[in-house]
Amino acid sequence: NAGVMQNPRHLVRRRGQEARLRCSPMKGHSHVYWYRQLPEEGLKFMVYLQKENIIDESGMPKERFSAEFPKEGPSILRIQQVVRGDSAAYFCASSPVGTGSYEQYFGPGTRLTVT
């Protein structure tokens, strides 16, 4: 049973470009969470999605960031017009149920560098 997959593992973008980060949850999991980790810090929640629905986006910046989890295919976190401050590690996690009562399974992360 493959774990949570994320790609790319490393992504370099110039300021102003778009970044697309992909996440395939574990088989059988329909709940996906995105977190961002700045250097030497803990993870910060960004968004929680179920298939075709955004459930909680309270951690998403109001502009330039969007997320989706279509019926078919991976979840995508999109960052438009990237700035240097977007440089961070972005982690996706999945769980079989959408409550805080269960562990989350994390992917290896995508490390975004904005030059």
Partner 1 sequence: SQQGEEDPQALSIQEGENATMNCSYKTSINNLQWYRQNSGRGLVHLILIRSNEREKHSGRLRVTLDTSKKSSSLLITASRAADTASYFCAAPHGSSNTGKLIFGQGTTLQVKP
According to DSSP, the β-strands at 75-79 and 19-24 are: antiparallel
Alpha-helix runs per DSSP H in the chain: none
Q: Is 41 in the site for partner 1 (CB under 8 A)?
A: yes
State how far the Cα of 67 lies from the Cα of 79, in Å rounded to an integer.
9
Instruction: Give the residue, chosen from 21, 67, 109, 114, that forms a contact with partner 1 under the rule CB under 8 A.
Output: 109
Question: Looking at beta carbons only, is 12 or 83 nearer to partner 1?
Answer: 12
According to DSSP, the β-strands at 88-95 and 31-37 are: antiparallel
Q: How many amino acids of this chain bind partner 1 (CB under 8 A)?
A: 30
The three-point CA angle 101-37-8 to 5° equals 100
Cα–chain-centroid distance for residue 56?
A: 13
Question: Looking at beta carbons only, is 13 or 36 nearer to partner 1?
Answer: 36
State which of positions 48-107 bind partner 1 (CB under 8 A): 48, 55-56, 58-59, 91, 93, 95, 97-107
Q: In the complex, which residues of this chain contact partner 1 (CB under 8 A)? A: 4, 31, 33, 35, 41-45, 48, 55-56, 58-59, 91, 93, 95, 97-109
